Amino acid sequence: MSRVDDAFARARAEDRAALVGYLPAGYPSVEGSVRALETMVDAGCDVIEIGLPYSDPVMDGPTIQAAAQHALEAGTRTADVLRVVEGVAATGVATLVMTYWNPVERYGVERFAADLASAGGSGLITPDITPEEAGPWLEASAAHGLDRVFLVAPSSTEERLRFTTEHCSGFVYATAVMGVTGARTSTSDLAGPLVARTRAVTDLPIGVGLGVSDGDQAAEVAAYADGVIVGSAFVRRLLDAEGDEQRGLADLRALTEDLAGGVRRAPLGGRERTGA
């Protein structure tokens, strides 16, 4: 059982969804991103996603793009991302890297898998590669005991949902909206039906991402999903406190505690989680 499996199992034992938090490595600095992620772990995140800054994102909205661009201009490279993984995984939390495929291919798929496992990483979330194109990663991840998380979307057909989830491990990433990332004032009404369709074809936990920005929205998603994935709202806290690390960490802690409270107060009657 992987650390990701353990994290979802612990949350399920507490009859709640897991809180999955994302930040890009290298913002506001390599060391600063470790401190920020450690704060999120301490305040209640069950699983951590570390973004690999990339110059040509296809899924990231303006908030994440701004932080990633800062990290790139500061010289953050793949080796630095692995340093961040090592620092965060040392806390014992399940730590995955979320990355577009090109940097992994450029680094070397086998080398990346070996170095990620050596750093204590739990696996990869890959938004722009499909399982049928991921042969080298499927082999390398299996060899190094890493989870592979592919995405499903409201536009996925039943056949596509089944095929994609058959190649996932750890959890399935369900994108709740069609578009780029970003905090929203309300959650997508496409998420619930997508989770239900996905749950019909897999026993894996299902995490819902894109748009959650506060505890009330987290509670809404936690009523039907196994994991609530939050990214842009965390990044926005750091951007708004740029140049004042202590304020940024305090704001991150407050948001994490709000979200962690949200996943714990979801209405029990709305849940039908895997294994529950």
Residue 239 sits at φ, ψ, to 5 deg, of -60, -40
Task: Walk across the sheet containing 151-152 and list its strands.
Answer: 147-149, 123-125, 94-98, 47-51, 18-24, 227-230, 206-209, 172-175, 151-152
Active site residue 49: yes
Q: Can you tell me the distance from the alpha carbon of 34 to that of 7, in angstroms, rounded to the nearest whole number?
A: 20
Active-site pick, 60, 80, 115, 226: 60
Q: Can you tell me the distance from the alpha carbon of 249 to that of 32, in angstroms, rounded to the nearest whole number?
A: 10
Contact (CB, 8 A) for 16 and 34: no
Active-site pick, 46, 49, 220, 226: 49
Give the rounded distance of the alpha carbon of 149 from its chain centre: 9
Q: Can you tell me the distance from the alpha carbon of 153 to that of 19, in angstroms, rounded to the nearest whole number?
A: 20
Q: Would you please indicate which residues are annotated as catalytic (active-site) residues?
A: 49, 60
